[in-house]
Structure 1
Amino acid sequence: MDWDATSAFTPVGLALRGQPAHRIVRTLGDAAYMLLKDWPSDDGEEYVTAVKACVDAISGEITPQQFWDAFLRAADEAGIAALTIVHR
């Protein structure tokens, strides 16, 4: 299990309504926490797909990049703005 996988995707900043208003997701663990604790709605099809993909990525059944694609689709479904974080 790799909760801290970061090398396969670029960190993303999410703009949420409420508190906290902004989150940066850098790892699979961050994403899992976000999906289970801070997600605004848990009834969308893309949300359910992203939760399953997160479990699959943590357990090594799919790549972190495959999860990341599902995570971004779920964010779009929920109306969450996602911004790629660029480090200099």
Structure 2
Amino acid sequence: MCWNTSSAFAPVGLALHGPATHKIVRTLGDAAHILIKDWPSDEGEEYVAAVKACVDAISGQIAPEQFREALLRAADEAGIAALTVVRR
């Protein structure tokens, strides 16, 4: 399992609602934590697809970039602003 895979996809900044307002997803482990602990709703087709894609990416069944695309769709569905984080 590749919980800390980070070089395979560009980090994503998320503007969540509530106490954990701004998060940066750098690894699949970060993503799993945010999806389970900080996501505003555990309902929605794209959310469920993102959770499955995260598990699939961690287990090596899909590329982390495919997961990133699913995460962005889930963020859009939930009304969460998402930004690509550019490293200097």
Tell me the TM-score normalised to structure 1 length.
0.97
Corresponding position of 1:14: 14
Q: Give the corresponding residue for 1:32.
A: 32
Is residue 2:66 matched to residue 1:86? no
1:67 alignment partner in structure 2: 67
Overall identity of the aligned pairs, in %: 74
Q: Higher mean Cα deviation, 42-51 or 15-24?
A: 15-24
Q: CA deviation at 1:18?
A: 1.1
Normalised by the length of structure 2, the TM-score is 0.97
Q: What is the CA-CA distance between 1:20 and the residue it aligns to?
A: 1.3
Give every structure 1 segment of 4 or more consecutive aligned residues whose post-TM-superposition deviation is greater than 3 Å: none
Count residues with an aligned counterpart. Answer: 88
RMSD, aligned CA: 0.6
Show structure 1 runs of 5+ residues with no match.
none
Where in structure 2 are there 5+ consecutive unaligned residues? none
CA drift of 1:28 comes to 0.1
